[in-house]
Amino acid sequence: MDKNMKILIVDDFSTMRRIIKNLLKDLGFTNTVEADDGKTAIPILEKGGIDFLVTDWNMPGMTGIELLKVVRSNPQLAKLPVLMVTAEAKREQIIMAAQAGVNGYVIKPFTAATLKEKIEKIFERLDG
């Protein structure tokens, strides 16, 4: 796992973006950028250079699941690892996210240990 990889954090609440950013920093990932919903995330992703996407689900403008679908349907981005960090906890939604091709799913409120574990698991699978 490359600690210098560029991570895009997408959440409509700036407090949550700060929390995730600081947690990632604590895990050694300092190269982060932020967006407040799917619509603002897409141009950043299309510009290239993003190695990992951490996104919320429920956002105005464009939701995380829509963003995930856009990512998976874009040949340049299709293989981008995506971690969903969301308060949405309905079983049908978790299944929906899995079917849309999410790499990991963390429900809020979460712990630093959970975030670390899921990120490690995602990259273990990708590298392995």
The window from 19-27, 31-39, 42-50, 71-79 that contacts other proteins (CB under 8 A) reads 19-27
DSSP 70: H
Tell me if 123 contacts other proteins by CB under 8 A.
no
The window from 28-36, 46-54, 70-78, 103-111 that contacts other proteins (CB under 8 A) reads 103-111
Furthest-apart CA atoms within the chain: distance in Å = 36
Q: What tokens were used for 107?
A: 């429900």
3-state secondary structure 24-87: HHHCCCCCEEEECCHHHHHHHHHHCCCCEEEECCCCCCCCHHHHHHHHHHCCCCCCCCEEEEEC
The window from 29-37, 40-48, 73-81, 91-99 that contacts other proteins (CB under 8 A) reads 91-99
Tell me if 112 contacts other proteins by CB under 8 A.
yes
Which residues in this chain contact other proteins in the complex, by CB under 8 A? 11, 13, 15-16, 18-19, 22-23, 26, 57-58, 63, 87-95, 98, 105-112, 114
